[in-house]
Copies of this chain bind each other. A is one copy, B any other.
Amino acid sequence: MSLGYLSRNMRVLAAQLNPTIGDIEGNTRLVLDALERAREIDADIVVFPELTLLGYPPGDLLLDASFIKALQQKLSVIAPMTKGLMAIVGLPRVNESGIEKPLFNSAAIFQDGKLIGFYDKQLLPTYDVFDERRYFQPGDKISIVKHMGKNVAVTICEDLWQHSGTVGYTNYRIDPVAALQEQEVDLVVNLSASPYCRHKKTQRIQALASSARAVQAPLVLCNQVGANDQLVFDGHSFYLDAQGKLVCMAKGFVQDELFVDLAVRPEPLSMPEEGIEDVYRAIVLGIRDYFEKQGHRKAVLGLSGGIDSAVVACLAAEAIGAKNILALSLPSRFSSDASYTDAEILAERLGVVFKKISIEPMFEAALSTLKPLFAKRPWDVTEENLQARIRGQILMAMTNKFGGLLLTTGNKSEMAMGYMTIYGDMCGALAPLSDVTKTNVYHLARHINREQEIIPQAILQKMPTPELKANESYLDTLPPYEVLDPIIEDYIEKRLSPEEIAEKRKHNLDFVQDLVVRMHRAEFKRRQAPIGIRVTQKAFSKGRYVPVVQRWRGLKG
């Protein structure tokens, strides 16, 4: 169809929104605001993220008939606001055929005030953090819409990935890019909800560039931004030319818009960098959205003087503001004065509220209560756990009395090895570092200190210790982190076998096997862990489903 202004080139707005899952009213408002904005800046096409009106991933909310119905009702609210525009909005659509699954992962296509049709996502990721086959039936045809005399192909996220051969654990039978290659296409738009993990930004651009080249058409991808539980969506919506060159990109980790005039051809951008800065920003967004989307403002955390809690304090201060943070020093007989001093310096520099409470009276009370039951058994991990749990008790009491959420400070290396106390230091609503190995916690600390020292140098330099018994070092229990962390990455993220790891890292096989057995044994603790923010390819949270009661230990025979 012609809208009568074919004389000028097409201008595309990618509305990189941060929806809240299940907030149909709020998400619809975001869409209406973006349509308003599109008219202000004289855009011709507006592209939204995947499942715009729900937020991604909505999980089992999709199974509520009333939820689906409430979503459908927004179509007639949005339609009149698309006068003079083409707009593509993501939401589920009922599969009227009744065959296989009851819903499609769909995109409503509006043109000049009318809903003109739907496009149903054809490739449904069902691996890693994705479970779309649980809910959706794949669509079976491409969709090309004529707008201002141009052929606009509408696609959704995974649809454009098969072509590059970079899909996880799946090799789709069909390839929508191949189907598009056989058509006249002037522009490909893609509604995405592509979550962040390390190197994902580069991967995403490369995968889609291969599709743009194949179709020989420019491509605008609109990605969701924002964090939903464990997943952080980084945004970074982009525009590729027909040669697959990156022309422009929206900001990462914030709501933004990408406004593209298809006629204008600036110099291609160089590939963006992917460093620790992105990990930092992903976690900050993960914390901020976890709080804001639930209406929480205040956080509590234990500030021990160690590196993990120091980094969490910095991340939280950035995410929700230092004045909203209460940091507690909770020393015992085993805590060093230096730990307290280091924590105090950091708290002052950050400007967080800092208080000190000795856990000794509670620890004493616990020891004497348990004494008759323990019947002279020697000191062991029980007494260490008691201390960690008393700290958890105090921290939780502060959130109960004054509101706010407790942040857990443990890291991925500990989570892997079970080097943490369940109901103790594992207490908390959110674990910002649970997908960050100790090695990377140090990287984050140095990144935080890159311009000026915020985390005291002493914290970076001291040997990590839980301070739960006298003269303790983590090396009493674990190998050095520079040895351990690569093994964790190999086993958890890369799924190498102990044999392959021993070979690759030049370790004794028994040494690697022992660590792998310990990783498996800690599964029961991870099952009850707080939500952790995913920043690697495989976090101990969403996207990893390992039974607790099972005997496979990664070992042959």
Binding site for B on A (CB under 8 A): 20-26, 55, 57-61, 63-67, 70, 73, 98-102, 126-127, 131, 133-134, 169-173, 227-229, 289-290, 293-294, 355, 357-359, 361-362, 364-366, 368-370, 372-374, 377, 380-382, 385-386, 389-390, 392-394, 396-398, 400-401, 422-423, 427, 429, 495, 497, 499, 524, 527-531, 544-552, 554, 556-557
Nearest chain B residue, comparing its CB with the CB of A370: B397
8 Å CB contact of A393 from B25, B60, B366: B366
Are B557 and A531 touching (Cβ within 8 A)? Answer: no
A58 shortest CB reach to chain B, Å: 7
* CA distance in complex: A528, B556 (Å): 33
A538 shortest CB reach to chain B, Å: 9
A11 shortest CB reach to chain B, Å: 33
Nearest chain B residue, comparing its CB with the CB of A555: B66
Nearest chain B residue, comparing its CB with the CB of A293: B549
A104 shortest CB reach to chain B, Å: 14
A53 shortest CB reach to chain B, Å: 11
* CA distance in complex: A173, B98 (Å): 9
A555 shortest CB reach to chain B, Å: 8
Are B134 and A550 touching (Cβ within 8 A)? Answer: no
Q: Which residues of B contact A61 (CB under 8 A)?
A: 546-547, 550, 552
Residues A423 and B173 in contact in the complex (CB < 8 Å), given A133-B126, A289-B549, A401-B374: no
* CA distance in complex: A398, B294 (Å): 36
* CA distance in complex: A357, B527 (Å): 29
Count identical subunits in the complex.
2
Are B527 and A548 touching (Cβ within 8 A)? Answer: no
8 Å CB contact of A530 from B102, B368, B528, B545: B528
8 Å CB contact of A229 from B364, B529, B547, B552: B547
* CA distance in complex: A200, B380 (Å): 46
Q: Which 6 A-B pairs have the closest CB atoms?
A: A22-B552, A365-B365, A21-B550, A22-B550, A382-B400, A23-B551
6 contacts between A and B (CB under 8 A): A63-B495, A227-B549, A229-B549, A355-B373, A385-B400, A389-B393
Are A98 and B397 touching (Cβ within 8 A)? Answer: no
Are A170 and B20 touching (Cβ within 8 A)? Answer: no
Are B20 and A550 touching (Cβ within 8 A)? Answer: yes
Q: Which residues of B contact A358 (CB under 8 A)?
A: 369
Are B374 and A357 touching (Cβ within 8 A)? Answer: no
A497 shortest CB reach to chain B, Å: 4
Nearest chain B residue, comparing its CB with the CB of A525: B429
A352 shortest CB reach to chain B, Å: 15
Are A70 and B173 touching (Cβ within 8 A)? Answer: no
Q: Which residues of B contact A554 (CB under 8 A)?
A: 64, 66-67
Nearest chain B residue, comparing its CB with the CB of A399: B382
Residues A357 and B385 in contact in the complex (CB < 8 Å), given A228-B547, A549-B289: no
* CA distance in complex: A339, B435 (Å): 45
Q: Which residues of B contact A67 (CB under 8 A)?
A: 552, 554
8 Å CB contact of A173 from B20, B21, B100, B290: B100
Are B427 and A423 touching (Cβ within 8 A)? Answer: yes
Nearest chain B residue, comparing its CB with the CB of A61: B552
Q: Which residues of B contact A73 (CB under 8 A)?
A: 557
Are B551 and A171 touching (Cβ within 8 A)? Answer: no
* CA distance in complex: A134, B67 (Å): 25
Q: Which residues of B contact A370 (CB under 8 A)?
A: 357, 394, 397, 401
Nearest chain B residue, comparing its CB with the CB of A99: B173
Are A101 and B550 touching (Cβ within 8 A)? Answer: no
Q: Which residues of B contact A58 (CB under 8 A)?
A: 547, 550
Residue from A20, A98, A102, A171 with most neighbouring chain B CB atoms (10 Å): A171
A429 shortest CB reach to chain B, Å: 6
Nearest chain B residue, comparing its CB with the CB of A377: B401
Nearest chain B residue, comparing its CB with the CB of A130: B134
Q: Which residues of B contact A229 (CB under 8 A)?
A: 547-549
Q: Which residues of B contact A101 (CB under 8 A)?
A: 169-170
Are A361 and B365 touching (Cβ within 8 A)? Answer: yes
Nearest chain B residue, comparing its CB with the CB of A227: B549
Are B98 and A551 touching (Cβ within 8 A)? Answer: no
Nearest chain B residue, comparing its CB with the CB of A291: B549
Q: Which residues of B contact A126 (CB under 8 A)?
A: 126, 131, 133-134
